[in-house]
Chain A
Amino acid sequence: MSESRLGTVLGYLAGFALLFLVWHLAATWLVRSALFPGPLPVLERAWALIEDDILQEQVLASLRRILQGFLIGSAVGIPVGLAIGSFRPVRALLEPWTEFFRFIPAVAMITVSVIWFGIGEESKVFLIAYTTVFVVIIATAAGVGAVARDKIRAAQCLGASRLQIFALVALPATVPYILTGMRLAMANAFVTIVAAELVASNDGLGKMLWDARLFMQIEDIFVALLALGLLGFTTDRLFRLAIRAFAGRFNPTM
């Protein structure tokens, strides 16, 4: 187990090394343009930005918004998804909502959000919560629907009340679905935060991208892109680990 984990880590390191190598080769042999810097000047610039505390600030600004919106979205989405999955009338009532809003991407909501909440924190947090909530609702409701009938029947034969079946069977059986929904939502949140900060913000990685474009600081653009990719990769792996940690106890097929 730890051996295969070590293998995965080594594989990842090799994969990233290869990515940087390809990037380096492309920049020095293929493109050879000031508009496409190689990894070395970009890393150099990143180090300078870190030393000046600038990169950390932008990363933290974006992460804070993502986390706040993500938590709000999940806190609303999980109970609503459970209710939709558990009660037919609730499903009938709320399915039009979820199926309607899920086709309006958060990016399309940026303008209204800025009009409603201004360019401060609220608009960004709202957008992240918006992009999170429907994914989590749908995944959670699907999870409740997928609880094996025999599990519920087994609990009934052991004397479980409806409330006990919900709390002790349906809910834990749904946890892997909830986590998977949150993982998807987190990926969406990264997309959304950049778009939102590009349009209206005083800081964050999206704002950094925007400013760098204005002043033609091409290295800064690449630093921001690199930071986004690494942050997304790291959070997604963490989620995968969490899901896996449960996988042995929950659904081994997840």
Chain B
Amino acid sequence: MGGRGLALVALDQVGKTYAGRGGAWEAVRSFTLDLQEGEFFCLLGTSGCGKTTLLNMLAGFERPTAGRILLDGASVSGPGADRGVVFQGHDSLFDWLTALDNIGFGLRLRGMGRRERREKAGHFLKLVGLSGQEGKHPSELSGGMKQRIQIARALAADPRILLMDEPFGALDALTRATLQGELSRIWKETGKTVFFITHDIEEACALATRIGVMTRGPGGTLKAVIPVDPPFPRDRTSDGFMAVFRQVHALIHAELAA
């Protein structure tokens, strides 16, 4: 067990090398990190540094070519309901199901009865602020609403950890700010552990309890981990917030310049 016994997720010297047509490509190198239960971890890094690759390994979609990933002490070998994923695009929603049935999909897989499932899905629908939209299909919802459904769908399956890959990247600034606030509130209410990938330094500073900054690819790895202390809800103009922002900004821009 050692000192890592308490971590919910342990990434130990994780590496991923793709065997592409143009030769081998090392996307992630020797990435080591522990995620604690209940924390909101934001991973920041320049484009192409390996963030999505890392999330895909955590989710079990891809296998590491080096090192290992443990969840509750057990090795991750494939995707499972203990890790909920919120995808960047909207492709993952089930177009033929209503908002409510999308959210209840994981419950249906477990054989939960229709009545109970609708009730429970309705609870998560409300949690993400979509009351009144239960009967709509994804094509009838805005981009922000679709991301809310993704979040509710993942939460309804009650995973140990929520993995999010730039979930608000494609939204306009106002919607993004609103959803950031909602996500922060939901995280507080549910106490879920969140692993959140973003390009956006301000977003990371607003949401995270810790921010990890990656080095530039190829062979991206963890460069620094910065604790974010200002209390929630965060005032983006406060001195504490600005101090963290400047610190992270300097780290990222050092990578861009490198």
Q: Is there an interface contact between B81 and A158, defined as CB atoms closer than 8 Å?
A: yes
B199 close to chain A: CB less than 8 A: no
Q: Is there an interface contact between B87 and A154, defined as CB atoms closer than 8 Å?
A: yes
Interface residues of A in 157-173 (CB under 8 A from B): 157-161, 164, 168-169, 172-173
Q: What does DSSP make chain A's interface, helix, strand, loop or mixed?
A: helix
Q: B224 to nearest A CB, angstroms?
A: 29
Interface residues of A in 122-180 (CB under 8 A from B): 148-151, 153-161, 164, 168-169, 172-173, 175
Q: Is there an interface contact between A160 and B109, defined as CB atoms closer than 8 Å?
A: yes
Q: A163 to nearest B CB, angstroms?
A: 11
A249-B94 Cα distance, complex, nearest whole Å = 9
A242-B81 Cα distance, complex, nearest whole Å = 35
Given A172-B96, A248-B139, A248-B140, A148-B91 contact (CB < 8 Å): yes
Given A153-B59, A248-B139, A249-B96, A159-B157 contact (CB < 8 Å): yes
Count chain A residues whose beta carbon lies closer than 8 angstroms to a beta carbon of B. Answer: 26
Q: Which residues of A contact B93 (CB under 8 A)?
A: 151, 154
Considering the complex, give the chain B residue whose CB is closest to the CB of A169.
B94
Considering the complex, give the chain A residue whose CB is closest to the CB of B150.
A154
Q: Which residues of B contact A150 (CB under 8 A)?
A: 87, 89, 91-92
Considering the complex, give the chain A residue whose CB is closest to the CB of B87.
A150
A92-B216 Cα distance, complex, nearest whole Å = 42
A251 close to chain B: CB less than 8 A: yes
Q: Is there an interface contact between A249 and B137, defined as CB atoms closer than 8 Å?
A: yes
A187-B24 Cα distance, complex, nearest whole Å = 49
Considering the complex, give the chain B residue whose CB is closest to the CB of A172.
B96
Considering the complex, give the chain A residue whose CB is closest to the CB of B105.
A158
Considering the complex, give the chain A residue whose CB is closest to the CB of B156.
A158
B154 close to chain A: CB less than 8 A: yes
B110 close to chain A: CB less than 8 A: yes
Q: Which residues of B contact A173 (CB under 8 A)?
A: 94-96
When A and B form their complex, which 5 residue pairs have the shortest distance between CB atoms, in order from nearest? A159-B81, A158-B106, A150-B92, A156-B79, A148-B91
Q: Is there an interface contact between B92 and A158, defined as CB atoms closer than 8 Å?
A: no
A172-B93 Cα distance, complex, nearest whole Å = 12
Interface residues of B in 156-207 (CB under 8 A from A): 157, 159
Q: Is there an interface contact between A153 and B92, defined as CB atoms closer than 8 Å?
A: yes
Q: Which residues of B contact A250 (CB under 8 A)?
A: 95-96
List 16 additional contacts besides A150-B91, A158-B109, A168-B109; criterion CB under 8 Å: A148-B91, A148-B92, A150-B89, A150-B92, A151-B94, A153-B87, A154-B93, A156-B61, A157-B83, A159-B81, A159-B106, A159-B110, A160-B109, A247-B139, A249-B95, A251-B95
Interface residues of A (CB under 8 A from B): 148-151, 153-161, 164, 168-169, 172-173, 175, 246-252
Q: Is there an interface contact between A252 and B85, defined as CB atoms closer than 8 Å?
A: no
Q: Is there an interface contact between B80 and A159, defined as CB atoms closer than 8 Å?
A: yes
Q: B195 to nearest A CB, angstroms?
A: 13
17 contacts between A and B (CB under 8 A): A151-B94, A154-B92, A154-B153, A156-B60, A156-B61, A156-B78, A157-B79, A158-B105, A158-B106, A158-B153, A158-B154, A159-B106, A159-B110, A161-B109, A168-B105, A250-B95, A250-B96
Q: Which residues of A contact B85 (CB under 8 A)?
A: 153-154, 157
Scan B129-159; emit 1 where CB is below 8 A from any A CB, else 0: 0000000010110000000001001100101
Determine which residue in A149, A157, A158 has the highest number of CB atoms from chain B within 10 A of its CB, and name it: A157
Q: Is there an interface contact between B87 and A155, defined as CB atoms closer than 8 Å?
A: no
A173-B159 Cα distance, complex, nearest whole Å = 25
Q: Which residues of B contact A155 (CB under 8 A)?
A: 105, 109
Q: B106 to nearest A CB, angstroms?
A: 4
Q: Which residues of B contact A175 (CB under 8 A)?
A: 96
Interface residues of B in 86-118 (CB under 8 A from A): 87, 89, 91-97, 105-106, 108-110
A135-B87 Cα distance, complex, nearest whole Å = 34
Q: A167 to nearest B CB, angstroms?
A: 11
Q: Which residues of B contact A160 (CB under 8 A)?
A: 109
Q: Is there an interface contact between B95 and A158, defined as CB atoms closer than 8 Å?
A: no
Q: Which residues of B contact A172 (CB under 8 A)?
A: 94, 96
Q: B9 to nearest A CB, angstroms?
A: 15
